[in-house]
Structure 1
Amino acid sequence: MGQSKSSLQPGDHIYCDRSGSSLYNHHGIYVGDGMVIHLMPPSKTKHRGSSAPCPKCGYKPDIITRVIKTCLDCFCDGHSVYVKSHCCSKAADEVVKTATDFLERNDFGPYRLLKRNCEHFAVYCKTGSATSPELVTKIGVPLGVGVPLLIATGPVGAVGFVAGYAIAKVITDAT
Structure 2
Amino acid sequence: MGKGDHIYVERYYGFVPYTHHGIDCGDGKAIHYSGTDICKIPLKDFSQGQKVYVKQYNNSDVSDIVIMRAESRIGERNYHLVFNNCEHFANWCKIGKDESEQVIKPILDLLDFFNWRLQDQERQYYKNLIDKHNEILRKVSYPLNNEHQDISKILKDNAAFKQNSYQVAYQEQSDFLQLEENSLVTDKFDYTILQNLLENGFWQEADELTFYAMLKVVNRENDRYFRPVDISNFPYKDLLIIDKLWLTFSQELFGFSVQKAIYQRYGFVFIGCN
| Compared CA separation, residues 143 and 88, structure 1 to 2 (3 A) | farther
> Which residue matches 1:17?
10
Identity %: 34
Equivalent residues in 2 for 1:13-162, closer than 5 Å = 13-19=6-12, 23-41=17-35, 65-103=36-74, 106-107=75-76, 109-140=77-108, 142=187, 144-145=189-190, 149=214, 150-152=216-218, 154=220, 156=222
> In 2, distance between residues paired with 1:128 and 1:148?
36
> In 1, distance between residues paired with 2:80 and 2:26?
27
Deviation at 1:134, TM superposition (A): 1.9
Q: Number of paired residues?
A: 125
> Which residue matches 1:168?
none
Runs of 4+ in 1 over 3 A off after TM superposition: 139-144, 146-149
- What SS is found at the alignment partner of 1:73? helix
**TM-score of the superposition, structure 1-length normalised?**
0.62
Contact 1:137 1:143 (C-alpha < 8 Å) held by counterparts: no
Deviation at 1:119, TM superposition (A): 0.5
Deviation at 1:112, TM superposition (A): 1.4
> In 2, distance between residues paired with 1:131 and 1:102?
16
> In 1, distance between residues paired with 2:188 and 2:58?
20
Deviation at 1:14, TM superposition (A): 0.1
> In 2, distance between residues paired with 1:66 and 1:37?
10
Rg comparison, structure with higher value: 2
Gaps of 5+ in 2: 110-186, 192-211, 224-274
Contact 1:40 1:67 (C-alpha < 8 Å) held by counterparts: yes
Structure with a larger share of its residues in helix = 2
Matched AA of 2:49: G
Structure number with greater CO (CA < 8 Å, separation at least 6) is 1
| Compared CA separation, residues 155 and 122, structure 1 to 2 (3 A) | same
> In 2, distance between residues paired with 1:123 and 1:12?
10
After superposition, the CA RMSD in angstroms is 2.7
> In 1, distance between residues paired with 2:188 and 2:49?
30
Contact 2:8 2:22 (C-alpha < 8 Å) held by counterparts: yes
Matched AA of 2:4: G
Matched AA of 1:34: G
